[in-house]
Structure 1
């Protein structure tokens, strides 16, 4: 056979195999020490991308679980506050029935009224102070989304919006009268809001007369009395909330606009003298109402119609005045009304509580689903990314044996060229 000294092919082959086995051993050591089958993109490029996407999903699901738990806490907090309001309303109902006990004296009824008034204050306090993480839950504005998934759009909406919230006034409970000290009255009704660019045209031929108690609101702000300008030729004096219309439609139109501007100089409108109208140019909304109370609904309606006929507004654009619906001396009707108001308030609150209970059950269902998805995705990621210790330890043992054998073979291969010395001796 041929014998070479400069090129020991057997040694080179053994060295190459030792290097390969060393690389395999390094991979096994890395996987066994880290617990991951994929430690770099070189280990499994596609598997790395898939497992990283799964990691993002799992992290999102875990945070979604925390979001859902926060949603449950919000719902429970709001429901607990509403439950207490219902408890207070139930106590009010008991007091109303107690007030109809024929043995009660006037001081007894006064004491019952005082308790009702204090309970109303507590309902309003609960509504104004029930918060979660600094956000008021019962002021009628709470409407938030909770992201309960790993991706955008996977939300649950918690909506507890209600005009004026859950105060005693908003629920109508502040109207309760047990001691007969005053009449029970309907609240005034605000006129509809006229949006930016609305045109107000006064009647032609003009209607003559005076409106008393007229108020306006700009951009949804507070209602303020109209102040009629001294320049109005059809009136004498300067009475807040009163404006007089005369025989000239153009003057009436200008006086109405000036009456608003006199109170709020931010109000602006473009005037059309041909059509005797003006169009709002810089306000989001403008609405009107009649302030004060009158003796009955018929008078309130008559005032509303009069204001509409003089200004050219529709009755719906002029808010209705408050009026008594039960006189102070009518205790029987008052007690029936009181119970109806309380029952209506309890029904309203229980409707919201039912919605909150349904939301809580939905959050609970979402939690179970999220936990299940997270568990299954984690298992799938483990199959791709994690080390199989049974397989890897077997590979380690095999590679160690091969490495030891390769080192032994390399030693023998390195000794083969020495045979050339025997030929030279």
Structure 2
């Protein structure tokens, strides 16, 4: 074997391999420090592209879950207020039935009318003051950037199929964004939104000034009974509209709860898939770190030995 001193091939080879080992060790330490297998696009270009898309979806689904839960809170707010309106209307109907009885005189009916009128005023007040995030939920009065439309009470009930069901799919109704993607045309059926039809409680005929129990203090018994019957009929129409709307709200709330459960399931599985691509396997990386540390020590020792070989040439010159 030829012996030279100008070019130490053993040292060059040992240095090259030692450099490779050092880079591998740096990558392993970076992964163990960050907890990520992919820290830059060069680590896995295709994997990084897939992970970016998955992160977009999981961030979107997280917000969609919040949106759906906000929608549930919205429905519970309006439904809770409606329950109290229903109780007041049931009392108004009770007074109407009582007023039709022949055992009461006009003075008694006047006393019933006082309570009846107070309940009408309270229904108006509840409709005006019940809000969610500063927006009216029981009257069409625009406030705080509110843009959704409401059905009048007359379009709910018997005409449900052409009333609140149709309103649910319109862009002008309350729309809950429960998908992580967007729809290009809000005028068409959406797969990422859930519509909620709302009713303007100010349009209930039962709270109108014209609806009362007493035709007049000096009116005949027959006239007063006829007035009370008309009031009961108006209240029945209002209760019919309310029960239809509450049934709709209950169905939508159950739908939103199923939406939340599905979104959470999708999010969990997407996160698992992303983790398998992006996250570092600590068992594997720890083993790799131990391997590179041993190789680095061996490489340094061999580089030292290669540098010592040139000293053997001196023995030939003695």
The reply to whether TM is greater than 0.5 is yes
Structure-to-structure mapping, 1:268-307, within 5 angstroms: none
Unaligned runs of 5+ residues in structure 2 are: 141-148, 151-172, 184-191
Structure-to-structure mapping, 1:232-251, within 5 angstroms: none
Shift of 1:350: 0.8
Contact 2:106 2:217 in 1 (8 A): no
Shift in alpha-carbon separation, 1:131–1:363, aligned structure 2, 3 A: same
Q: Distance in 2 between matches of 1:341 and 1:147?
A: 37
Hey, what does 2:177 align to over in structure 1?
147
Hey, what does 1:159 align to over in structure 2?
197
Hey, what does 2:228 align to over in structure 1?
335
Q: Distance in 2 between matches of 1:84 and 1:411?
A: 89
Moved more, 62-71 or 97-106: 97-106
Hey, what does 1:2 align to over in structure 2?
2
Runs of 4+ in 1 over 6 A off after TM superposition: none
Q: Distance in 2 between matches of 1:182 and 1:69?
A: 52
Contact 1:173 1:345 in 2 (8 A): no
Does 2:143 match 1:113?
no
What secondary structure does 1:330 align onto?
A: helix
What secondary structure does 2:195 align onto?
A: strand
Hey, what does 1:51 align to over in structure 2?
51
Contact 1:181 1:328 in 2 (8 A): no
Does 2:214 match 1:179?
yes
Hey, what does 2:18 align to over in structure 1?
18
What secondary structure does 1:172 align onto?
A: helix
Unaligned runs of 5+ residues in structure 1 are: 184-325
Hey, what does 1:296 align to over in structure 2?
none
CA RMSD of aligned residues (A): 1.9
Shift in alpha-carbon separation, 1:343–1:423, aligned structure 2, 3 A: same
Q: Distance in 1 between matches of 2:214 and 2:57?
A: 64
- TM-score for the superposition, normalised by structure 1: 0.63
Contact 2:37 2:279 in 1 (8 A): yes
Does 2:280 match 1:376?
no
Q: Distance in 1 between matches of 2:220 and 2:50?
A: 76
Contact 1:145 1:157 in 2 (8 A): yes
Q: Distance in 2 between matches of 1:386 and 1:327?
A: 86
Moved more, 117-126 or 335-344: 335-344
Q: Distance in 2 between matches of 1:152 and 1:26?
A: 42
Shift in alpha-carbon separation, 1:57–1:327, aligned structure 2, 3 A: farther
Hey, what does 1:34 align to over in structure 2?
34
- Please state which structure has a larger fraction of its residues in strand: 1
Shift of 1:327: 8.8
What secondary structure does 2:174 align onto?
A: strand
Shift in alpha-carbon separation, 1:138–1:84, aligned structure 2, 3 A: same
Contact 1:177 1:338 in 2 (8 A): yes
Shift in alpha-carbon separation, 1:327–1:357, aligned structure 2, 3 A: farther
Shift of 1:328: 7.9
Higher RCO, Cα 8 Å, sep 6+: 2
Shift in alpha-carbon separation, 1:6–1:332, aligned structure 2, 3 A: same
Hey, what does 2:315 align to over in structure 1?
422
Contact 2:99 2:225 in 1 (8 A): no
Hey, what does 1:96 align to over in structure 2?
96
Shift of 1:95: 1.0
Hey, what does 1:354 align to over in structure 2?
247
Shift of 1:342: 1.3
Q: Distance in 2 between matches of 1:95 and 1:332?
A: 12
